[in-house]
Structure 1
């Protein structure tokens, strides 16, 4: 079975491609390389012994997307391709709406015209906004997200629900919490272009001396140490959930399915807890400074992922320190590539 993976050379996408190939799926990747590099394709092949088909273009280019669907018997899609930085989305909201929504709509047009089902959407816990109670389960009311990024994810979910119902398609929405870590081979990991927007790669680069100090955005939140709390999930655990969700879609008897799953550990960790866990796991220092809160950030979010365990047979298995240890191994690998 051939699966299209958009953004398949990106952070979560590349780890998911590895898991798909290891589970005997054929994989076609579309990635515009805006937030990754070509060596990731080679590393996927080294890890799996299999080479996915790769097309380097932007999903907003409809004519090229049609050519990919013409060339391959695609039977499902996992859609990662999107701009993803909360802070940046506040500065460039129109770019986020254009990229994240137009690319999704173009994909769905092709799937509708060719009568293809089995669509998995890379969504986010940002669709819940600042939830009133913790942990957050799939029945937690959605709120208008603080960030433009979060709004594109919430809009994407609504588009997909309408698509599934109107055209009798099977769709799964996977709401991630905060992915961290790198592949145990140290050949795949988060590869931000320029200054990192996410916490852990910035911690990694600060420990490596690439950045002078980590900026901790606010220490006046109503939490134990004053810093914001998130649910940090190991990226390989997250990638395995996509395979489980895809297998459920494929073997589901119903023509129309809209499944929603939270993917997280069920435990929240503060920014400073992550910093100190990184220092402990890798025996390195991470200098930091406290700054003003960042626009679009919420105080606390962590998951109830019981539904994924019950219906997909999936749960997070990797501890925070274990995941952070793989981050440092990835950084050392990147340093050897530069020598």
Structure 2
């Protein structure tokens, strides 16, 4: 059986990907330091799939720990999620982001090389396109300079992996450039559980809906968009998770380094998200318009055609599915995994 190491597998996207990997017949080993995740998520993954996975509490920056993982488990490929991911926080503590996301990724890739494991799917971001490229973003565009340190770490790791693959043809690397993952597993058993004040729109909105926060702030309503609010390419986390399974299958049979956009290709505004959430779930969301945030682009969205042609992947779940599943998770777990 093909065995996949999933770093950061107890996190939001990681846990959903573990479900899809187990359902697809893969053996899963999760390495996670639990800094922004919960073992409870992995227990629920096992319950949802009626399959077991192996969990190791450890850090990708710990070379001895990584060597032990590769020595104890015959790993065929790695999906790399582990890292810090809050845009605002990355501006305040950049060195922590460089250490976790860049040094951590280097440490992982060096351990893979020592173990002779050369197949990797990297969790990247649409922020690598920077501010100058027009939407829809295409993989053939040159990468730009991201407007925040989180995005910058993704760009640095992408470049590092591209250069490693150029120097050694044994490497087979997928760079998955996510747009805006939202939603939760249809069961409501696993979902997004940020610690502290959420940085992303959807968990903030659902926490307002469940009464944990007083109101939603919509940052800017004077952008050159359909309704004046920012537009983003929102993608259901289950669709995103399935893309990782297809990327693994692709990398088991190919070499080199290849980037794929994982998005729907649709630009949905923040106002639309709030309004549609209310319609789908019958819950009113108190809100206010607030000043624009520094670094927010008016609109960006994917051209996902390369992923469709080369991976056989496309987004299947609708905006209504995303909003219904997000609320279903929050309603069942008002305090996240602590409920």
TM-score between both structures, scaled by the size of structure 1 = 0.96
Aligned to 2:83, the other structure's residue is in SS state coil
Encode CA deviations 1:15-66: one digit per residue, 9 max, x unaligned: 1111111111111101111111121111001011112111112211221111
Aligned to 2:66, the other structure's residue is in SS state helix
Q: Which residue of 2 aligns with 1:242?
A: 244
| 1:120 paired to 2:160 | no
Q: Which residue of 1 aligns with 2:270?
A: 271
Structure-to-structure mapping, 1:1-339, within 5 angstroms = 1-168=2-169, 169-252=171-254, 256-335=255-334
Moved more, 6-15 or 131-140: 131-140
**Count of equivalent residues:** 336
Encode CA deviations 1:100-155: one digit per residue, 9 max, x unaligned: 01110011101112221110000000001224422111112211000000100000
Query: Matches of 1:55 and 1:338 in 2, distance apart?
Result: 21
Moved more, 59-68 or 19-28: 59-68
Segments of 4+ moved more than 6 angstroms = 336-339
Query: Matches of 1:38 and 1:289 in 2, distance apart?
Result: 36
Seen in structure 2, the aligned counterparts of structure 1 residues 68 and 317 have a Cα distance that, compared at 3 Å, is: same
8 Å contact 2:21–2:245 — kept in the other structure? Answer: yes
Query: Matches of 1:300 and 1:142 in 2, distance apart?
Result: 17
Query: Matches of 2:295 and 2:81 in 1, distance apart?
Result: 22
Query: Matches of 2:52 and 2:332 in 1, distance apart?
Result: 21
8 Å contact 1:112–1:167 — kept in the other structure? Answer: no
Moved more, 214-223 or 25-34: 214-223
Encode CA deviations 1:233-279: one digit per residue, 9 max, x unaligned: 00000100111111011123xxx311110010010011111111111
Aligned to 1:120, the other structure's residue is in SS state strand
Seen in structure 2, the aligned counterparts of structure 1 residues 338 and 243 have a Cα distance that, compared at 3 Å, is: closer
Query: Matches of 1:293 and 1:56 in 2, distance apart?
Result: 40
Encode CA deviations 1:52-103: one digit per residue, 9 max, x unaligned: 1111122112211111111111111000011111122112211111110111
Aligned to 1:143, the other structure's residue is in SS state coil
**Aligned-residue CA RMSD in angstroms?**
1.3
Please report how far the alpha carbon of residue 162 of structure 1 lies from its aligned counterpart in structure 2 after TM superposition. Answer: 1.1
